[in-house]
């Protein structure tokens, strides 16, 4: 025995035989209080004996007969595991026909020629000794009926009657168990195995039933091709009759196994230890059950109680020992033994009679931490005899705890079912009995629960995408949480694509294997919470497979297939494509589309096509790869079903007719030798059809036709098997020629200086000699009437579609001479031109002068020079000059207007104010009106003596003081204005603005002759860019806005319903000066000073 231990060690490694230690062992533990004993321990050595040598005769069996190969392994301890193998150590295949029984024998329900072999070997594996024993090989030779007849025929004369009967089918016969009934006894809790193996041809099928009941659900299994019924964890309720039925086509046989479930003893109430104080009472109860019912016997300190020392305080009553007024000498260990024929139970229970004051075993000041709203269990493990009473207090001077808020357990534990923050604090446990009292304090802390405030959500992601799950938590600040992610309740894959962040999990480049449930688990030392979300990885479906063609007919076939994996996105449809290996090998064309719930389709076929089909699955993500092609199917030839489409007859030359069509595609030919029958005849003439058969082309040219004559045309397909249905006729025309006649009676009506309307008479349709497409008007400017100078002639063309007899000519230049002619147009081209028609446009307003320069400024004069308009558009009658002064506040003075003869090109303006800015407006006139104006600004110079005097004044002290006083008054005035404005008063400048909207009627101040006050939002802006002048003070000519607006095809102009032009052609005109509304750049400081003075 080991020192300080009850363990017995038997070591045979250094010698000795295991058989010497075989026997039954029992351990006894004893002290002054009594003796306890263990269960019996049986020690037996393991055995793996060899097979006994025997002479095995070969088995000669007729085909179809049954056969049993016996194993009969040696008896070992523990029993060996049996299996059959061949010489190559390969397990022999088993099936419903050939299988191994529970006893290890190999059963053949019927033998077949392929069962012939010489190496049927039974092996016995002894696991405990780790050895395998081998039986001698068994030989089996199966004779078929044919070979048996040949053997008999060779050994008998021709006159003998010979011949074995052919293999005949047989109804089932049970090989094991034998007879019609048998019995089986099994112990409660064990595994019940029932076996039925039958012979017969065809091979019988086994079925199991329980008479008068059902086979127990969840505990019943079928093994060995249903030849073995297995029921686990059997109980008495599983007793009964079990019937196995073997059936084949010729009949059936059955066997009834009567099962009885016995039971070794099992505990109902095992005896428990008793701790009593002197004078107390107690009981030991030992109750067990079994089948048959076990007997109960008692022992005291390992000795049968009948011969044990007497104790007046005890009384044995069957399965109960009653103790009354025990004394310390009553302490002992009692054993209860429950036995029947299938086993026994043994239990030790001590009776300890003690007189002990209370002791509390829970450590003092133990700290308990619990989560709010969860139970709190405060331990107060105690010991004492008599059993102490336990009381709980909260705080040092608190009252005793009572009420439904607390649960007091027998072991002294205080339970607070729903702990709240106010339950935290110090708790005192008091244990007392008649021998004394003791107390202990423990501490309780309540923590906030850990919560997942944002849980991971269900995600659907496409393959190779990126997905992220969030897991945001809230926890008690004194607890340190750890976050763990699981996939399908297991660890995350060891893959760098999985990125675990502080509060999220990200999966990069998602694949199909990432599909599953992801769980975020948050653990602290006190609680744990979790949340899960499902990740569904979707992708395009896998391609369908196993395409099969059935129901082959001349014009239809049935196609079926098996759908591939949908990849978590349901298939919405299947697209079927076909290949014509005869006409278009390698080209796949659309055939049809069926719903995703359908896996078959009837397909329409065309003759003379070598079909292959493939199927493509479609889901919300996209289309799968095409399936593998089906087998090919060549349809029979037939005459064409249809004729060419888009038949046309259009001549390319005046004396031919070109007949064209769209040829039939290969699968439309329906057979070999595709050709076309082309037919034509002149329309409205009593002619016969002229026909010609051509090869598989797309056009035919008929020569020698009249020019532009209507023809009836038709094209019919045919092949080696016949013609297509009669085709429909189309109307075509032979070739066109140029028109013969020009339009007549051309008239021009001038509407205004830029627009004219032209009329003509239509030409006779016969003279068009083709499809009338319209008329073209050629027109060009001959010369300008104002300049009498010719320039390069640029002809312009307007096309008017259809049979129109008038048109508008926009964009003409005023005061010019034009010519035009009209031509008719057909598909071949233009006809002859009409005689040129001359017309003139009236005068218009001129363009702006080409430039305006202001030079030679003096104290009171300026010199103006200008250039005549680039486009006078008539005879100039005069120029108009308008000008007005601009003061230092950008206000405009009165407008002065001067008429200048048309032959002048310069002008000196005198009597102007010195050091004053002027704005000038200049334009030209014809008899029609004024043209666009050009603007310019200039300043007269300042007198030198005056400038010197002003500088002297500016240096005087009184002038500086005056300026300061004026500035102070202006500041006060601004403050008053601001206050009045905030109170809703009317700003005085605005009143003056309203009173002086027109600068031409502004009054002059009497004292200094300056302009009246004027204010406008625009006055304080600098002059517009257009009014600024270059450094040489020359205004460049504005670009002419005159342009040709096409009134023929694609014209953007506007017309009335009769085609007349709406509006008037004119160039852009600058707005007339609105006196007082024009702005100017700020004057120089000197000018400002002069104005002030």
pLDDT averaged over 10-residue windows placed end to end, the chain, 1093 residues: 83 78 88 88 84 85 94 88 92 94 94 93 89 90 72 50 63 93 94 96 95 92 95 94 95 95 94 90 94 93 90 91 90 94 93 91 94 95 91 84 90 94 93 92 94 95 94 94 95 94 94 94 95 95 95 93 94 96 92 95 93 96 95 93 94 94 89 94 89 93 93 94 94 93 95 95 92 95 76 85 94 93 94 94 93 91 93 92 88 90 92 90 93 92 58 64 88 86 49 39 37 36 37 39 40 37 36 40 35 30
pLDDT of residue 397: 72
Tokens representing 758 are 């032209």
Cα 444 to Cα 364, 381, 391, 401, distances in angstroms: 13, 17, 17, 15
DSSP 8-state assignment for residue 342 = T
- What distance in Å separates the CA atoms of residue 772 and residue 756, rounded to the nearest whole number? 25
pLDDT of residue 665: 87
Residue located via tokens 């091709």: 225
Helix/strand/coil for 392: strand
pLDDT of residue 436: 93
Burial class (CB in 10 A: 0-12, 13-18, 19+), 1076: buried
- Asked if residue 799 has a cis previous peptide bond (ω within 30° of 0), the answer is no
Q: What is the mean pLDDT of the chain?
A: 85
**Helices 1085-1092 and 944-954: crossing angle, nearest 10°?**
80
- What distance in Å separates the CA atoms of residue 617 and residue 1033, rounded to the nearest whole number? 80
- What distance in Å separates the CA atoms of residue 917 and residue 937, rounded to the nearest whole number? 7
Per-residue b/e over 563-576, b at no fewer than 16 CB within 10 Å? bbebbbbebeebbb
pLDDT of residue 22: 85
Residue of 747, 746, 549 lying closest to 632 (CA atoms)? 549
* Distance linking the first and last C-alpha atoms of the chain: 137
Q: What angle do CA 341, 346, 350 make, to 5 degrees?
A: 155
Could you tell me where the beta strands, DSSP code E, fall in 739-877? Answer: 744-752, 755-761, 772-784, 796-801, 806-809, 816-826, 837-840, 849-855, 862-869
> Which residues does residue 879 pair with via DSSP β-bridges, in sequence order?
900, 924
pTM of structure:
0.45
Cα 564 to Cα 366, 547, 613, 624, 631, distances in angstroms: 64, 12, 17, 9, 19
CA atoms lying within 13 Å on the CB side of residue 309: 8
Cα 616 to Cα 263, 552, 590, distances in angstroms: 64, 22, 11
- What distance in Å separates the CA atoms of residue 649 and residue 709, rounded to the nearest whole number? 11
At a CB cut-off of 8 Å and minimum separation 6, what does 495 contact?
A: none
Helix/strand/coil for 804: coil
The runs of H, that is alpha helices, within 881-1035 are 944-954, 957-982, 988-995
Helix/strand/coil for 971: helix
Helix (H) or strand (E) holding 1013: none
| 509, 466 Cβ separation under 8 angstroms | yes
At a CB cut-off of 8 Å and minimum separation 6, what does 327 contact?
A: 278, 279, 313, 353
pLDDT of residue 1073: 44
pLDDT of residue 1043: 38
CA atoms lying within 13 Å on the CB side of residue 437: 7
Question: In Å, how far from its chain's centre is CA 715?
Answer: 53
Kindly report the backbone phi and psi dihedral angles of residue 306, in degrees, each rounded to the nearest multiple of 5, phi listed first.
Answer: -70, -30
Helix (H) or strand (E) holding 572: strand 571-580
SS3 of the chain: helix, strand, coil, percent, to 5: 10, 45, 45
Could you tell me where the beta strands, DSSP code E, fall in 464-570? Answer: 467-470, 472-474, 482-487, 490-491, 498-500, 504-507, 516-523, 528-538, 545-550, 556-562
What are 141-158's pLDDT values in tens digits? Answer: 999 866 655 555 555 444
CA atoms lying within 13 Å on the CB side of residue 651: 25
């Amino acid at each position: 025995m080991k020192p300080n231990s009850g363990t017995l060690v038997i070591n045979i490694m250094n010698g000795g035989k295991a058989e010497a230690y075989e026997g039954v062992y029992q351990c006894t533990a004893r002290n002054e209080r009594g003796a306890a004993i263990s269960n019996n321990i049986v020690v037996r050595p393991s055995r793996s004996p060899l097979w006994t040598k025997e002479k095995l005769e070969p088995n000669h069996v007729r085909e179809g007969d049954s056969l049993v190969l016996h194993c009969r392994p040696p008896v070992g301890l523990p029993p060996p595991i049996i299996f059959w193998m061949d010489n190559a150590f390969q397990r022999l295949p088993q099936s419903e026909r050939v299988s191994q029984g529970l006893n290890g024998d190999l059963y053949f329900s019927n033998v077949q020629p392929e069962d012939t072999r010489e190496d049927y070997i039974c092996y016995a594996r002894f696991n405990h000794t780790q050895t395998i024993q081998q039986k001698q090989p068994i030989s089996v030779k199966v004779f078929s009926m044919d070979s048996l007849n040949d053997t008999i025929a060779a050994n008998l004369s021709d006159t003998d009657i010979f011949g074995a009967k052919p293999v005949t089918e047989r109804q089932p016969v049970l090989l094991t168990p034998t007879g019609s009934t048998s019995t089986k006894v099994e112990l409660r809790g064990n595994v019940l195995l029932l076996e039925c193996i039958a012979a017969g041809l065809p091979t019988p099928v086994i079925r199991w039933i329980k008479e008068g009941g059902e086979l127990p659900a969840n505990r019943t299994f079928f093994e060995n091709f249903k030849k073995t019924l297995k029921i686990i964890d059997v109980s008495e309720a599983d007793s009964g009759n079990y019937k196995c039925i073997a059936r084949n086509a010729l009949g059936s046989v059955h066997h009834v196994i009567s099962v009885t479930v016995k039971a070794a003893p099992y505990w109902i109430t095992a005896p428990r230890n008793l701790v009593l104080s002197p004078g107390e009472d107690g009981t030991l109860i030992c109750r067990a059950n079994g089948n048959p019912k076990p007997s109960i016997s008692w022992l005291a300190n390992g000795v049968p109680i009948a011969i044990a020392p007497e104790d007046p305080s005890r009384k044995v009553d069957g399965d109960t020992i009653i103790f009354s007024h025990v004394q310390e000498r009553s302490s002992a260990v009692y054993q209860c033994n429950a036995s029947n024929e299938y086993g026994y139970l043994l239990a030790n229970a001590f009776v300890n009679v003690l007189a002990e004051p209370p002791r509390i075993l829970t450590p003092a000041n133990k700290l308990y931490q619990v989560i709010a709203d969860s139970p709190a269990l405060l331990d107060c493990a105690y010991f004492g005899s008599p059993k102490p009473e336990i009381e709980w207090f909260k705080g040092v001077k608190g009252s005793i705890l009572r009420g439904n808020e607390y649960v007091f357990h027998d072991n002294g534990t205080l339970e607070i079912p729903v702990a709240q923050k106010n339950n935290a604090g110090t708790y005192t446990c008091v244990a007392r009995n008649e021998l004394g009292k003791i107390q202990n304090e423990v501490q309780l802390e309540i923590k906030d629960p850990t919560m997942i405030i944002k849980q991971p959500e269900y995600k659907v992601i496409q393959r190779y995408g990126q997905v992220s799950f969030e897991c945001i938590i809230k926890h008690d600040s004194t607890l340190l949480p750890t976050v763990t992610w699981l996939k399908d309740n297991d660890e995350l894959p060891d893959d760098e694509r999985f990125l675990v962040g502080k509060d999220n999990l990200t999966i990069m480049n998602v694949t199909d294997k990432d599909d599953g449930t992801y769980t975020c688990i948050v653990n602290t030392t006190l609680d744990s919470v979790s949340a899960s979300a499902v990740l569904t990885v979707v992708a395009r479906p896998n391609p369908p497979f196993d395409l099969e063609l059935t129901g082959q007919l001349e014009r239809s076939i049935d196609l079926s297939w098996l759908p591939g994996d949908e990849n978590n996105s349901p298939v919405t449809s299947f697209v079927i494509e076909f290949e014509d290996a005869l006409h278009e090998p390698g080209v796949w064309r659309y055939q049809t589309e069926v719903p995703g719930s359908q896996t078959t389709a009837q397909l329409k076929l065309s003759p003379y096509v070598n079909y292959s089909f493939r199927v493509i699955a479609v889901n919300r993500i996209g289309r799968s790869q095409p399936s593998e092609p089906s087998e090919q199917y060549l349809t029979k030839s037939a005459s064409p079903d249809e004729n060419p489409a888009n038949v046309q007859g259009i001549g390319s030359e005046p004396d031919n007719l070109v007949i064209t069509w769209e040829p039939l595609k290969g699968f439309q030919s329906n057979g070999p030798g595709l050709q076309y029958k082309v037919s034509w005849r002149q329309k409205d003439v009593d002619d016969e059809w002229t026909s010609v058969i051509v090869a598989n082309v797309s056009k035919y040219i008929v020569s020698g036709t009249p020019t532009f004559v209507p023809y009836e045309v038709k094209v019919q397909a045919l092949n080696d098997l016949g013609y297509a249905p009669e085709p429909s006729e189309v109307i075509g025309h032979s070739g066109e020629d140029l028109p013969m006649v020009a339009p007549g009676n051309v008239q021009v009506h001038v509407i205004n200086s830029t627009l004219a309307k032209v009329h003509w008479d239509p030409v006779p349709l016969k003279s068009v000699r083709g499809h009338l497409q319209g008329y073209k008007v050629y027109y060009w400017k001959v010369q300008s009437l104002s300049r009498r100078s010719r320039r390069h002639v640029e002809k312009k063309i307007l096309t008017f579609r259809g049979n129109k007899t008038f048109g508008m000519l926009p964009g003409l230049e005023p005061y010019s001479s034009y010519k035009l002619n009209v031509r008719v147009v057909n598909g071949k081209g233009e006809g002859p031109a009409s005689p040129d028609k001359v017309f003139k446009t009236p005068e218009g307003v001129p363009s702006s002068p080409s430039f305006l320069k202001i030079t030679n400024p003096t104290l009171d004069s300026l010199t103006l020079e200008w250039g005549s308009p680039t486009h006078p558009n008539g005879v100039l009658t005069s120029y108009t000059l308008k000008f007005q002064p601009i003061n230092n506040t950008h206000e405009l003075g009165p407008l002065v207007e001067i008429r200048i003869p048309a032959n002048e090109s310069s002008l000196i303006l005198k009597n102007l104010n010195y050091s004053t800015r002027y704005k000038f407006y200049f334009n030209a006139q014809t008899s029609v009106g004024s043209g666009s104006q050009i603007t310019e600004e200039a300043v007269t110079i300042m007198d030198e003596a005056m400038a010197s005097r002003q500088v002297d004044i500016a240096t005087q002290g009184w002038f500086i003081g005056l300026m300061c006083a004026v500035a102070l008054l202006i500041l006060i005035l601004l403050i008053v204005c601001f206050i009045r404005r905030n109170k809703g008063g009317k700003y005085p400048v605005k009143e003056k603005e309203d009173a002086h909207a027109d600068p031409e009627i502004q009054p002059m101040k009497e004292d200094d002759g300056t302009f009246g006050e004027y204010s406008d939002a625009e006055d304080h802006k600098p002059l517009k860019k257009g009014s600024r002048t270059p450094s040489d003070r020359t205004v460049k000519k504005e670009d002419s806005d005159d342009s040709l607006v096409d009134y023929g095809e694609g014209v953007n102009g506007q017309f009335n319903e009769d085609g007349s032009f709406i509006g008037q052609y004119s160039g852009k005109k600058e707005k007339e000066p609105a006196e007082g509304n024009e702005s100017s750049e700020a004057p120089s400081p000197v000018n400002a000073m002069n104005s002030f003075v």
